[in-house]
Amino acid sequence: MLLPLAAAQFVASYACTNMNVAVSAIAHDLGTTVTGVQTAITLFTLTMAALMIPGSKLTDIWGRRACFRLGLAVYGTGALLAALAPGLGVLVLGYSLLEGIGSALMIPPVYILVTVHTADLASRARGLGVISAAAGVGAATGPLVGGLVTSLVSWRASFLLQVLIVAGIVVLSRRVQEPPAAGPRPGFDLTGAALTAAGLLLIVLGILQSGSYGWLTATRDLTIRGVVLVHAGDISPVWLLVGLGGLFLLAYARHASRSERAGREPLLPLRLFRNRTSNLGLATQLVQWLVLQGSFFVISVYLQTVEHRSAIETGLLLTPTTAGILSTSALAGRMSRNRSQRFLVRGGFAITVAGMALLLLLGRVLPGDLALVPALLVMGAGVGVMLTASANVVQSAFPASEQGEISGLSRSVSNLGSSLGTAIVGSVLIEGATTGESYALALAVTGLVALLGLGAAMLLPAGPPRPSTVPPTPALPPQGGGRRRPT
C-alpha cells in the first residue's frame, strides 16, 4: 500500500521544484517574466497550503481513499492543462490552481493512512520515512529530471510526465485500504475554510510584493485602475496585506472558539495548538521546506540568469542535494530506532546550516561548480535527516481520532514553508538578479531562517511525543541526551 502513497507524495514534491530549472524557458515561451513564473510557483504551493486543512477535513467526510483518488484526477487534469498552456494565465490555472487543489485532496490521506495503519513508533517511523523520503527525493530530483526533460524535449513534456505518473498511481491506488469509519461523519466548516484560506493567501501574496514595492516603504506608487492606493514613500503594501491576512486568521480563531463553545466542530480545533511538542515540530517543518524550496529557487535562478546555464546544466549542478537527501532518508527508520526524534531534528538542522555556510564560504575561494558539489551534498544530507523525524513528532503527538486534522495542519504548514521560501528569498534575488551579491544575500537570509529552525528544534522535549487528548497532555520534560532509545 505504501507504493501509491509514496508515489503521490513524490509527484507533488517534484512539481514544487521542477519548474525552477525551466524559469527562463517558460518565461521566453509564454512571453512573461521571471517574476511571473515565480508567482506561478509560489501560488502552487500557496494553494496547497491554503486548502490542505479543508482537504484533510474532507477525508473524514468523503473517506480517505475517495479523497486520494479524486485528488489524483484533479491533479492530472491540471498537469495536462499546464502542458497545453498558451500563456501564463492558463499555466496558473492548470499548474498553480488545479494541481494545488489536487495535491490538497490527495496528500493528507497519505499521512493519515500510514499513521492509522501503524501502531508503534518504530513502524510508524519506517512508514513515514518512506513517505518523507519520497517527498525529499521528489523535491531534490525535480531540478535534475526537469532540466533533462526541458533541455531534451520541452518544459511542457515535464507536465506530460506528471500526467503519466498520476495515471500509474490511479491504477496502483486499488491497493489502498481504509479502516472502516467510526461514528458519524463530521460536517464541513465552510466559514472556517474561507477565513483560513484568505488569511494564508494574503500573507504570502503580501510577501511576494516585496520584490516590486520594497520591504519597509513603498519604492513606487501602488495603482489599481488609475487610483493610487499607496504612494511611494508610504508603508509598503507588504505589511498592509500581511496585516490583513493576520486579521483573517484572528477572525478564524474567534470563529473556531465560538463554534467549540456551541458544540460544533470547527475546521481546525484550537486544541491542536495546545500541544507544545506538536507546535515545535510544526515550526521545524515550516523552516525545513522554506529552506529547501527557497535555496533551490535562488540557486536555479542565479545559474540561469547570472551564469546563463541551461536547464539541464542547472539540474545536474543541483544533483548533490538529491544524493544527500537519498543517502540519509534511506536510513530514517534505522536512525529512529537508535536516536530520539529530537536528536535527529537538531542534527539535521545543524548539518543543513553547515552546508549553507559552506556554500557561501567556498563560493569565494573555489569556482562555482566546485563550490556547489560539497555544499549541496551536506545540505541535502541534513534535510534528509530531519524530514521524517519532524513528521513523526507531529503525527505521533495525537491519537488516531485526530489524525485527519493534524495531518492537514502538518501538510499545510509544510507547503506554507515552500511558499514563503520562494516568496521571501526569491524577492531578495529578483531585486538584483544580475549580481552575485543578491545571490549571496538571498542564501544568507535562508541560512538565518535555518538557524531559527535549529532554535525551535533545541526546544523539543526528549523522548517520543505523548498523544494529545482533551484536555491536552503536557509536553514531556527533558530526559537527557539524544542517544536515548525511544520507548
Q: Count CB atoms within 10 A of the CB of residue 444.
A: 15
Looking at the structure, tell me whether residues 86 and 169 fall in a common domain: yes
The total number of structural domains in the chain stands at 2
* pLDDT recorded at residue 368: 60
Cell 532518508, residue? 329
Beta bridge partners of 223: 228
Mean pLDDT score of the chain = 80
Answer with the one of 266, 296, 311 that is the final residue of a domain: 266
**Residue 182, domain member (yes or no):** no
Between CA 356 and CA 443 the distance in angstroms is 7
Does the pLDDT value for residue 433 go beyond 70? no
* pLDDT recorded at residue 483: 39
* pLDDT recorded at residue 247: 95
Looking at the structure, tell me whether residues 287 and 344 fall in a common domain: yes
Does the pLDDT value for residue 85 go beyond 70? yes
Looking at the structure, tell me whether residues 303 and 156 fall in a common domain: yes
Answer with the one of 266, 291, 316 that is the final residue of a domain: 266
Q: What percent of the chain has pLDDT over 70?
A: 85
* pLDDT recorded at residue 122: 64
* pLDDT recorded at residue 99: 94
Between 180 and 340, the higher pLDDT residue: 340
**Residue 184, domain member (yes or no):** no
Is residue 78 within 8 Å of residue 291, measured between CB atoms? no
**Residue 468, domain member (yes or no):** no
Does the pLDDT value for residue 132 go beyond 90? no
Q: What is the tens place of the pLDDT at every residue in 278-332?
A: 899 899 999 988 888 888 778 877 777 777 777 777 778 888 887 888 777 767 6
Looking at the structure, tell me whether residues 36 and 87 fall in a common domain: yes
* pLDDT recorded at residue 24: 81
Between CA 283 and CA 277 the distance in angstroms is 10
* pLDDT recorded at residue 473: 34
* pLDDT recorded at residue 180: 64
* pLDDT recorded at residue 454: 92
**Residue 436 — left, alpha, or beta (φ > 0 → left; ψ -120 to 50 → alpha)?**
alpha
Looking at the structure, tell me whether residues 295 and 349 fall in a common domain: yes
* pLDDT recorded at residue 436: 58
Looking at the structure, tell me whether residues 257 and 271 fall in a common domain: no
Looking at the structure, tell me whether residues 236 and 117 fall in a common domain: no
Between 165 and 402, the higher pLDDT residue: 165
**Residue 116, domain member (yes or no):** yes
Q: What is the DSSP letter of 227?
A: E
Between CA 391 and CA 444 the distance in angstroms is 26
CA angle 185, 200, 193 (to 5 degrees): 25
Q: What percent of the chain has pLDDT over 90?
A: 19
* Region of poorest pLDDT, from 89-93, 214-218, 241-245, 282-286: 214-218
**Residue 486, domain member (yes or no):** no
Model confidence at 366, pLDDT cuts 50, 70, 90, reads low
Looking at the structure, tell me whether residues 305 and 339 fall in a common domain: yes
* pLDDT recorded at residue 243: 92
CA distances from 468 to 268, 336, 397, 412 (A): 15, 21, 6, 20
Question: What would the DSSP string read from start to end of 362-385?
Answer: HHHHS-HHHHHHHHHHHHHHHHHH
Domain of residue 98: give its range: 2-177+267-458
Q: Count CB atoms within 10 A of the CB of residue 361.
A: 12
Model confidence at 86, pLDDT cuts 50, 70, 90, reads very high
**Residue 35, domain member (yes or no):** yes
Looking at the structure, tell me whether residues 272 and 238 fall in a common domain: no
- Predicted TM-score of the model (pTM): 0.73
CATH number, domain with residue 93: 1.20.1250.20
Q: In the predicted model, what is the mean pLDDT of residues 209-214?
A: 75
Q: What is the CA radius of gyration of the chain?
A: 21
Q: How many CA atoms are closer than 13 Å to the CA of 239, on its beta-carbon side? A: 9
**Residue 246, domain member (yes or no):** yes
Looking at the structure, tell me whether residues 325 and 420 fall in a common domain: yes
* pLDDT recorded at residue 471: 41
Does the pLDDT value for residue 364 go beyond 70? no
Q: What is the tens place of the pLDDT at every residue in 111-124?
A: 788 777 766 666 66
Cell 569556482, residue? 367
* pLDDT recorded at residue 426: 65
Q: Which of 24-28, 174-178, 304-308, 462-466 has the highest mean pLDDT?
A: 24-28
Q: What is the tens place of the pLDDT at every residue in 470-483?
A: 443 333 333 333 43
Q: What is the tens place of the pLDDT at every residue in 261-280?
A: 888 888 888 888 888 888 99
* pLDDT recorded at residue 468: 47
Looking at the structure, tell me whether residues 198 and 173 fall in a common domain: no
Q: In the predicted model, what is the mean pLDDT of residues 32-50?
A: 81
Looking at the structure, tell me whether residues 169 and 200 fall in a common domain: no
Answer with the one of 239, 266, 293 that is the final residue of a domain: 266
**Residue 487, domain member (yes or no):** no
